[in-house]
Amino acid sequence: MNYSMIRYILSSVLGFEGLFLLLPAMVGGIYGEKEGWIYLAVAAGSLLLGMLGRIKKPESSVFYSREGFMAVSLSWIILSLVGAVPLRMTGEFPSYIDALFETISGFTTTGASVLSSVEELARCTAFWRCFTHWIGGMGVLVFIMAILPLSGSSSLHLMRAESPGPSVGKLVPKIKSTAMILYGIYIIITFCEMIALKIAGMSLFESMTLAFSTAGTGGFGLVNSSIASYSLAVQIIITVFMLLCAINFNVYYLFLIRRPKEAFLNEEVRSFLLIVFVSAALIAVNIRADYSSIFMAFHEALFQVASIISTTGFATADFNLWPEFSKMILVTLMFVGACAGSTGGGFKVSRLMIIFRSVKNEILSVTHPRSVQKVHMDGRRVPDNVVKTALCYLATYILILMASVLVLSIDGYDMTTNVTAVMATFNNIGPGLNMVGPTGNFGDFSILSKIVLMFDMLVGRLELFPMLVLFAPGMWRIPARKAEKKKSGMNL
């Protein structure tokens, strides 16, 4: 393990977090809030630490996937630990654990809150909460890659560990340009939404924070009632952008390079949209009686469906009160999640498609034992190891889900609360049902449960394996430098 390289990357992450923290400090300055100084202090500390850690360049640039996974998971842990400091220091959160829960929930774009009243937060804190979504949405290491010169192989391993989806595809030959394109698209989408919301009559501050929250598919809002208190136009704009951000960003790139035909043929996006509209239609029929018109019922249904499947977690209606059938559809959608290569979390549509297709193949091979079958996506064969990883992912996913629910049940809340709390955090959605429903919060859970949920959020955002790898035997040993010394010794 090349620890000095990991130290170098972690220091860069700290440095960039310091820069990010300057933004809420500025917001604090604009609105004349004293909390702004706290953000400024933490930003300075974080920047300083980052600079100190970067003074000594690593001697060996040996970087394999092991180092990549470790750097990514440690980066996210450090990012959250430091990001929580100002939240606690402003005194708005009762304990560091609560502040940490809120920050992890922010960076992992979950949007689950421990607060019972969001309105009381200082503007800079509210801004920071939403901005963490934006950073976490595309990934902080991808951001660093787009800016800092890292060697090709090391950035590839980082990208693999951080990017969501069953297999990582580059858009252009250079990883740095790929990262820049992704962030470029991300920034454009965010900016468009900001303008749209501003036109719809929101203040600049509101439109900015909500745009960050939506683009990162996070879900932190500015008021307790989430989006319900805003006008219909705002709700529709947010619905559209939630869906846009849950679509594979590669598709937008295909539009950019004028190959829209391939973009429209993307099977994952088509399935995603199909799921969205079918679910919304079913729910609309189911809840028709509660709303004034079929249009309103469909609008409410679509907003909730988009919010859950894109793993954003905004709400315009308390779906906790909806009929059982509608609730069950939403719980199922929690499991589905967004498209690979988007800012959304969850299990990912493409992974589900791979699993369904290999199940279909398995059934076929019972009737035709000698048939040769391969899983196909977008007219291309999916490599066997990708299929295998997807199946393994499902198994691991279920195991973690069960284990987490088991630990949560110690607190003694009802099963729906426990299961949906785990699903909502694990899939980075935010609200669940019953106690953790759209109007509730996670504040009442015990510290142990909160720690488990924090772990679930991180594991879910980084797609299981990077975090789990930290616990793998032998991961922390074998410094790469030692192995190198051995090699040069032989040459002498």
Partner 1 sequence: MKIIIVGCGNVGATLAEQLSKEGHDITVIDTREQLVENISTSCDVLGIVGNGASFSVQSEAGVGDADLLIAVTGQDELNLLCCLIAKKAGGCHTIARVGNPVYSREISFIKEELGLSMIINPQLAAAREMARLLKFPSALQVDSFAKSRVDLVNYRLEESNPLCNMKLKDMGSRLRCDVLIAVVERGEEIIIPDGNFELKAKDTISIIGNQAKMVEFFKKLGVPTAAAKNAMIIGGGRTSIYLTKQLLDMGIRVKIIERDEKHCEELTEMLPKAMIICGDATDKELLMEEGLMETEAFVATTNFDEENIMLALFAKSCSKAKRITKVHRISYDEIINNLDVGSIVYPKYITAESIIKYVRAMKNSIGSNIETLYRLNDNRVEAVEFLIKEDAPVVGIPLQDLKLKPNMLIGCITHRGKVTIPKGQSVIEVGDTVIIITTTAGLHDIRDVVR
Q: Got the DSSP string for 104-167?
A: HHHHTT------S-GGGS-HHHHHHHHHHHHHHHH-HHHHHHHHS---HHHHHHHHHHHS-SSS
Residues within the interface to partner 1 (CB under 8 A): 151-153, 155-156, 170, 172-177, 383, 488, 490-492
Instruction: Quote the Cα angle for 307-107-10, to 5°.
Output: 155
Q: What's the closest the beta carbon of residue 72 comes to partner 1, in angstroms?
A: 16
Q: What's the closest the beta carbon of residue 379 comes to partner 1, in angstroms?
A: 11
Pick 160 or 198: Cβ nearer partner 1: 160
Pick 177 or 225: Cβ nearer partner 1: 177
Q: What's the closest the beta carbon of residue 6 comes to partner 1, in angstroms?
A: 19
Pick 156 or 210: Cβ nearer partner 1: 156
Q: What's the closest the beta carbon of residue 480 comes to partner 1, in angstroms?
A: 15
Specify burial of residue 479 (Cβ count, 10 A radius: 0-12, 13-18, 19+).
middle
Pick 174 or 376: Cβ nearer partner 1: 174
Pick 7 or 170: Cβ nearer partner 1: 170
Pick 363 or 490: Cβ nearer partner 1: 490
Read off φ and ψ for residue 380, nearest 5 degrees.
-130, 150
Q: What's the closest the beta carbon of residue 356 comes to partner 1, in angstroms?
A: 24
Distances (CA, A) of 278 to 259, 281, 287, 320: 28, 5, 14, 20
Pick 145 or 421: Cβ nearer partner 1: 145
What's the CA gap between 401 and 81, in Å, rounded?
24
What's the CA gap between 240 and 362, in Å, rounded?
38
**Which two tokens mark 174?**
């250079």
What's the CA gap between 353 and 267, in Å, rounded?
9
Q: What's the closest the beta carbon of residue 467 comes to partner 1, in angstroms?
A: 22
What's the CA gap between 55 and 119, in Å, rounded?
42
Q: What's the closest the beta carbon of residue 142 comes to partner 1, in angstroms?
A: 15
